[in-house]
Structure 1
Amino acid sequence: MSAKKKAQFDAKKTLEMIEDQFEMFQILNEEGEIVNQDAMPELTDEQLEELMTRMVYTRILDQRSISLNRQGRLGFYAPTAGQEASQIASHFALEKEDWILPGYRDVPQIIWHGLPLYQAFLFSRGHYHGNQVPEGLNVLAPQIIIGAQYIQNAGVALGLKKRGKKAVAVTYTGDGGSSQGDFYEGINFAGAFNAPAIFIVQNNQFAISTPREKQTAAKTIAQKGIAAGMPSVLVDGMDPLAVYAVTREARERALNGEGPTLIETMCYRYGPHTMAGDDPTRYRTNDMDTEWEKKDPLVRFRKYLEGKGLWNEEKETAVIERAKEEIKDAIKKADETPKQKVTDLMSNMYEEMPANLKEQFEIYKEKESK
């Protein structure tokens, strides 16, 4: 038997060389200390305070939304605690003219972009008014189909490019969403057409109960963007300064005609996947929860701001009380919104109602009038 022919190339080495390039980008460590001064974004003291304000407000919104869901006053809800830096800091790097295509966990971003809070509550209830985006607000309704927003984001970004708009299209999904065919099609399309798009994968370690290590054999999700020909980065998703910096840079590249970027944010969701019966204690350990709680984005950013004399207990309490009051007013307004009717569903679905529904429409119209 002849000796095995020596390979003329080392494919495994090539893979390892690529994977080794993806070190996690960080600016602020778990103790609230700057560890990468050269990468510090240019944010004023007022902007730093505003970013913290939004993160604290969003944590309260999450707590109240969970409570409202348990009371039966909200419908579908996906908790966000733990992902504030990933969500809010990335949004903070955008401008009003940019488009946001959210997943179902990304309601906070579109609220801060301008969606009235009461409409976010109506979206959770399945009320059509929750999806009626106000004129001039550049967001799409949260996408329920896993990963579908990635294809849509590529299309919106290409549209912005063809119209000569100085804006970007940004979308989010989780680590589970990165396994969908839509994920690959979306980033490949955007890369091929050099579209001004930003694709963010919030790697919160579990797609419902499927752990990250069973999601893909790739060492990082970020490296998948290389195959689509786009710059890609792995960032500490619990570090608001790092998330802001990479998102802002991605936006600037896109506006300069340098195409899309894929960003993987390493983060953690403290709560269940959704409030629809998921029990995270069945697939996560107490040790894992404790380890990630030490990396809490609010805790580390609070330490940093307190060290600069920009934050204190009084300011945080004021934000908490404001959030509670505004949430109370918003849920009251949602409660006062006329209930959705079957005839509304039919009327909203069709410009010209099919003959087979016209008869049913009249039947329901009569019932609803009583």
Structure 2
Amino acid sequence: MIRTVVCRVHPRLSRPLSSSARRPSELLPSSQSPIVSKLNFFNSVTPDGQKIPTYRILDGTGRLIDGAVLPDIDKSFALKLYENMQLLPTMDNILYNVQRQGKISFYMTAYGEEATIIGSAAALENDDEVLGQYREMGVLLWRGFGINNVMAQCFGNEEDTSGKGRQMPVHLGSSEYHFHTISSPLATQIPQAAGVGYALRRDPLRRGRSVAACFFGEGAASEGDFHAGLLLASTIPSPTVFIARNNGFAISTPSNEQFYGDGIASRGPGYGIDTVRVDGNDVLAVLATVREARQRSLDQGRAVLVEAMTYRVGHHSTSDDSFAYRARSEVEDRKRIDNPLVRFRLFLEAQGWWDEAAEEELKNRLRAEVMTHFKRAESLKRCELSELFSDVYGGEEPWNLKEQREELAILLRKYGNSWEPWRNEMAKFKNNGQDLLKEN
């Protein structure tokens, strides 16, 4: 038997679905993105498709640009900024030449980036935790670390508080001045900074008061650690100010060969963090920018990204000859056209705060101070040889270090006095290395 089944359709369902019925929600789950019917690709973080703008206060002649507002500074503060900016090339000139003479093993200059470094240092509080890359010596000098401590670290002598002579030159550190010790591997400090920021947020004594400030170059932003750090600091979240020094080169690779997008700033919105681009050769613009970035980071409890646009006038390090990959005329043009020191000096002169006599006195005084500390550091011996094994790990010394200590002591007893190269080397250490022999 064949049965016929008749289905009755409700009258309301027999009509075409209305637009509102087809779209019960204008947003997709877990998204604030509106629904559109027009296909549209985009490749810009700005609404009009233009490049991200760069914030500036002073033009190349030290004058305020139209609409610019000076940050809150007075004469004494402005002169402190300038003195610290001048101190960097003074030290760089001497220590670069010292390395060329073979008296230290390595050095990195900050030529061309003085405004970015000192402007950022001045905008931070002295107890904000700083995680640098290797051009941020100026942050420590601003905080009072002192020329003598820099020299001691570069020579690795007995007064080296950064690492007791066990670190490469300019790999500075100071718990007293809240400056985490520099490490050579690229970008490792970026996720570490996010963790430091998170620790600050969890500390009742520092919550809402301190940030972690992380410096790195645009080349480091190509490392995976960059993305891990920004993701962590934006989602956990943690009060961390990321300061990218876009100086145009990752050693020998120019920025236009490092990435196709609009610099480093274009990546910030992808992690949901406030982002700004600033003229890194304008110390007042950097000061105002990092001040605001720091306050936003505290208020929101999450990361802020600052991209400082500057130019690396010097070689990447003493291991590099930049004229092998860029024209000397290009560097000289940048020194002449947009020198951060000249720009700020012209501003000071326009305020009536500076003149040629003051300029000459400052340069002579700084050079004399640096030379005095250099000569003293050069004359001191290295730390005691036994310090090679101390402060490596917390708690009890592990078995492998004990074995290494004992093995070195055996070798020193065997060859230390009879073989001239070892005898000469031991004489460079405090107590001539005998402290290690006494312990073993």
Give the TM-score taking structure 1 as reference length. 0.91
**What's the counterpart of residue 310 of structure 1?**
353
Kept after mapping to 2: 8 A contact 1:98/1:170: yes
Pick the structure with more helix per residue: 1
Residues 190/19 of structure 1: CA separation in 2 closer, same or farther (3 Å cut):
farther
**What's the counterpart of residue 149 of structure 1?**
189
Question: Which of 270, 293, 300 is matched with 2:343 structurally?
Answer: 300
Pair 1:267 & 2:310 matched = yes
**What's the counterpart of residue 4 of structure 1?**
none
Unaligned segments of structure 2, at least 5 residues? 1-36, 164-172, 417-432
Q: Deviations over 1:7-26 (max 9, x none)?
A: 94212256564863611111
Q: 1:20 & 1:39 partners in 2: Cα distance? A: 24
Kept after mapping to 2: 8 A contact 1:106/1:142: no
Kept after mapping to 1: 8 A contact 2:44/2:51: no
Residues 329/275 of structure 1: CA separation in 2 closer, same or farther (3 Å cut):
same
**What's the counterpart of residue 139 of structure 2?**
109
More divergent stretch after superposition (211-220 vs 349-358) = 349-358
**What's the counterpart of residue 177 of structure 2?**
137
Deviation at 1:56, TM superposition (A): 1.2
Residues 222/357 of structure 1: CA separation in 2 closer, same or farther (3 Å cut):
same
Q: What secondary structure does 1:357 align onto? A: helix
The letter of the residue matching 1:282 is A
Give percent identity, aligned residues only: 30
**What's the counterpart of residue 51 of structure 1?**
81
Residues 57/13 of structure 1: CA separation in 2 closer, same or farther (3 Å cut):
closer
Kept after mapping to 1: 8 A contact 2:84/2:138: no
Question: Which of 62, 74, 78 is matched with 2:104 structurally?
Answer: 74
**What's the counterpart of residue 404 of structure 2?**
357
Q: What secondary structure does 1:34 align onto? A: coil
Q: What secondary structure does 1:11 align onto? A: coil
Q: Deviations over 1:247-287 (max 9, x none)?
A: 010111122235221111111121110012x1111111234
More divergent stretch after superposition (64-73 vs 179-188) = 64-73
Kept after mapping to 2: 8 A contact 1:19/1:223: no
Q: Larger Rg: 1 or 2?
A: 2
**What's the counterpart of residue 212 of structure 1?**
255
Q: 2:189 & 2:48 partners in 1: Cα distance? A: 27
**What's the counterpart of residue 239 of structure 2?**
196
Q: Deviations over 1:83-107 (max 9, x none)?
A: 0011111111111121111111222
Q: What secondary structure does 1:194 align onto? A: coil
More divergent stretch after superposition (48-57 vs 127-136) = 127-136
Kept after mapping to 2: 8 A contact 1:89/1:241: yes
Deviation at 1:124, TM superposition (A): 2.9
Q: Deviations over 1:39-91 (max 9, x none)?
A: 32111122112111111122211111212221222222111111001111111
Residues 211/78 of structure 1: CA separation in 2 closer, same or farther (3 Å cut):
same
**What's the counterpart of residue 170 of structure 2?**
none
Residues 260/18 of structure 1: CA separation in 2 closer, same or farther (3 Å cut):
farther
Q: Deviations over 1:215-248 (max 9, x none)?
A: 1111121111111111111111111111111001
Deviation at 1:126, TM superposition (A): 5.2
Any residues of structure 2 matched to 1:274-289 within 5 Å, and which? 274-276=317-319, 278-289=320-331
Q: Deviations over 1:183-233 (max 9, x none)?
A: 111111111123111111111111111010111111121111111111111
Residues 36/124 of structure 1: CA separation in 2 closer, same or farther (3 Å cut):
farther
Pair 1:253 & 2:296 matched = yes
Q: 2:200 & 2:390 partners in 1: Cα distance? A: 31
Q: What secondary structure does 2:389 align onto? A: helix
More divergent stretch after superposition (218-227 vs 120-129) = 120-129
The letter of the residue matching 1:267 is T
Q: 1:36 & 1:149 partners in 2: Cα distance? A: 38
**What's the counterpart of residue 423 of structure 2?**
none
Q: Deviations over 1:142-188 (max 9, x none)?
A: 23111111111111111111113111111111111110111111111
Kept after mapping to 2: 8 A contact 1:153/1:171: yes
Q: 1:364 & 1:320 partners in 2: Cα distance? A: 49
Deviation at 1:119, TM superposition (A): 2.7
Residues 336/127 of structure 1: CA separation in 2 closer, same or farther (3 Å cut):
closer
Matched positions, count: 364
Pair 1:23 & 2:53 matched = yes
The letter of the residue matching 1:359 is E
Unaligned segments of structure 1, at least 5 residues? 1-6
The letter of the residue matching 1:26 is R
Residues 61/33 of structure 1: CA separation in 2 closer, same or farther (3 Å cut):
same
Q: What secondary structure does 1:326 align onto? A: helix
Q: 1:156 & 1:178 partners in 2: Cα distance? A: 19
Give the TM-score taking structure 2 as reference length. 0.77
With CA pairs under 8 Å and 6+ residues apart, which has the higher RCO, 1 or 2? Answer: 1
Q: What secondary structure does 2:179 align onto? A: coil
Kept after mapping to 2: 8 A contact 1:87/1:109: yes
**What's the counterpart of residue 83 of structure 1?**
113
